[in-house]
Amino acid sequence: MTARMKNPAMVLPDAMQAIPLLYKAMHKGGVAQTTLELVHLRVSQLNGCSACVHAGVQTSKKAGETDERLHAVAAWRETDFFTDAERAALELAEAATRLTDRSDPVPDPVWDEAVKHYDESAMSAIILMIATTNFFNRINITVKEPAGASWN
């Protein structure tokens, strides 16, 4: 696949100045980096963003994630590889990404399960990871950013 244009982050780099600060804040929310990476990967899978799925696998492995768990993220409900807290984060990620799949996109039971495992800072980090991943997925899908592309 060939990109339609340069990534907007390269064309308008000032637009991306806040992103490193956003990631820095997310990683101070008290959520394990591997959990945030799993959330990023699952959101990217749902949206069909090959560039972000590729990057998500790479960053997950750097964070110490195993191949076994990475291969199972798409079917996380059918495995015993994930903790209850990770399952709650993945469920929240799916609900907050698939906004039009139901009349109440993030139903109370999904929210309630997540807050059993995460305090307000951690929930903020997870929600910001979901939103930021959706942001990048939409950019990359629109311009047809190929998997493995370098922004350099």
pLDDT of residue 152: 43
CA distances from 51 to 13, 14, 44, 55, 87 (A): 19, 22, 9, 6, 24
CA 135 to chain centre: 10
* Site of tokens 């951690």: 122
Reported as a single tens digit per residue, the pLDDT across 91-116 is: 999 999 999 999 999 999 999 999 99
Average pLDDT, the chain: 94
Q: What residue ranges define each of the domains in the chain, with the CATH number in brackets?
A: 28-143 (1.20.1290.10)
Q: What is the pTM of this model?
A: 0.93
> Is 35 exposed, middle or buried (CB count within 10 Å of its CB: 0-12, 13-18, 19+)?
buried
DSSP character at residue 148: T
Reported as a single tens digit per residue, the pLDDT across 11-30 is: 888 888 888 899 999 999 99
